[in-house]
Amino acid sequence: MTRRYRPFDPFERGGPFEAREIRFPRPPRRFWVGAALFGLAVLIFFFASPIVWFFTEMQWYDALGFKDVFTTRLSMQVVLFVASFAFALLYLAANVLVALRLRSGPSLRAVGIK
């Protein structure tokens, strides 16, 4: 059974310049259950495909006798990703540190920027 909300009255509690508390109705519990089920379906949709791909490829390369080739290729991709991410993170951190040092220099303080 749905709950009825009273209509919004713009003239309640004083004049137009007084602050009023705006209340939004809370969604029912079944909305959150539906949202959780939808989110779970989206997660399954996005994570099922890579998992199925991995096991299918592993079995295929194993059946051909090239399982080492697949694992070497996959491990190299992971290592290259991690190394590139670490390099980019260090580069970004160094740039942020340089920018923070230059920002607080005496030339900016002369014009009133701290």
CA 95 to chain centre: 24
Quote the pLDDT of residue 3: 63
Report in angstroms the alpha-carbon separations of 113 from 64, 96, 98, 107: 67, 18, 17, 9
For residue 59, the enclosing domain spans: 26-65
Residue 20 lies in a domain: no
Low-confidence residues of the chain: pLDDT under 70: 1-20, 104-114
| Domain co-membership, 41 together with 71 | no
The count of structural domains within the chain is 2
- Asked if the structure places residue 105 within a domain, the reply is yes
Same domain? 48 vs 77? no
Tell me the pLDDT tens digit for each residue of 13-42: 655 566 667 778 888 889 999 999 999 999
Three-state DSSP at 77 gives: helix
pLDDT of residue 109: 64
* 5 close to 25: Cβ distance less than 8 angstroms: yes
Task: Check: pTM over 0.85? Answer yes or no.
Answer: no
| 8 A C-beta contact, residue 86 and residue 73 | no
Q: For position 10, what pLDDT does the model report?
A: 63
Q: Are 32 and 40 in contact (CB under 8 A)?
A: no
pLDDT at site 25: 83
Q: Residue 24: what pLDDT?
A: 82
Say yes or no: 60 and 72 in one domain: no
Residues 105 and 74 in one domain: yes
* 52, 78: one domain: no
User: Does some domain include residue 6?
Assistant: no
